[in-house]
Structure 1
Amino acid sequence: MEKIKCICVMRELFRALSELESRLMQSHGVSLNEAMVLCAIGKERVAASTIVERTGLTPSHASKVIRAVEERNLLVRALGEKDKRQMYFSLTKEAHNCLKGIREQGIDIPELLQPLFASYAEGVSDSCE
């Protein structure tokens, strides 16, 4: 693929992801990154490093998203039992309800992304909770 075409494809992909995020915000009140953080935690109690690993966000970006979700009372922060310097995060009831709504109602997937979602859905379990 020509290098300039690659940029054009990436532009279209970015636009599709922006559209997906807008739909997610409208229907469930969370951004794509916020939803990924909630999904990365699920029913567990995890450290920030686990969230970074599971979402692919950089540590600094994950920290900002965690803080934003925490401010909206979707996360609870707790000190580690063995190491008081370590922070652990778990979801609130509101966050569980948000994930349940996403799971039950779904999100309209932009046309460009539909083949990716269709191929991914085959044989993949729901890792959110």
Structure 2
Amino acid sequence: MEKIKCICVMRELFRALSDLESHLLQAHGVSLNEAMVLCAIGKEQVAARTIVERTGLTPSHASKVIRAVEERNLLVRTLGEKDKREMYFSLTDEAYRCLKGIRDEGVEVPEILQPLFASYTDESSESCA
């Protein structure tokens, strides 16, 4: 692919993700990164490193997003039993309601992203609450 065309395609993808995030914010009150963190935790209690692995966010960015959803009472933080320096996160009832709303109402997927979503299977989202 021609280099400039690649940049143009990336611009369109970025714009589509921005539209998707706007819809998430309006309909469910969470950003795309916040929704990804909630989904990455699902019904489990997980360490921050697991959230980083599952979302692809950098550790510093994941930390900011975790803090933001924690401040909105969507996450509960607990200390590790063996290592008190390790933090574990689980969803609150409010977070489960948020994810249920996203699941029940769906998310308006921009046209350019629809082929990607069409190839996505339900097994890939098993960790989501």
Separation in structure 2 between the aligned mates of residue 126 and residue 78 of structure 1, nearest angstrom: 23
Deviation sequence 1:41-94 (CA, Å, 0-9, x none): 001000000000000000000000000000000000010111111100000000
Q: Which residue of the partner structure matches residue 2 of structure 2?
A: 2
Q: Which residue of the partner structure matches residue 33 of structure 2?
A: 33
* Aligned pairs for 1:81-120 within 5 A: 81-120=81-120
Q: Secondary structure, in 3 states, of the residue corresponding to 1:120? A: coil
Give the superposed CA RMSD.
1.2
Separation in structure 2 between the aligned mates of residue 43 and residue 121 of structure 1, nearest angstrom: 19
Q: Which residue of the partner structure matches residue 62 of structure 1?
A: 62
Runs of 4+ in 1 over 6 A off after TM superposition: none
One-letter amino acid of the counterpart of residue 21, structure 1:
E
One-letter amino acid of the counterpart of residue 16, structure 1:
A
Q: Secondary structure, in 3 states, of the residue corresponding to 1:76? A: strand
Separation in structure 2 between the aligned mates of residue 115 and residue 12 of structure 1, nearest angstrom: 14
Q: Which residue of the partner structure matches residue 18 of structure 2?
A: 18
Separation in structure 2 between the aligned mates of residue 13 and residue 39 of structure 1, nearest angstrom: 22
Q: Secondary structure, in 3 states, of the residue corresponding to 2:119? A: helix
Offset at residue 120 of structure 1 (A) = 1.4
Structure 2: which 5+ residue stretches go unaligned? none
Q: Which residue of the partner structure matches residue 73 of structure 2?
A: 73
Contact 2:43–2:127, Cα closer than 8 Å, also in 1: no
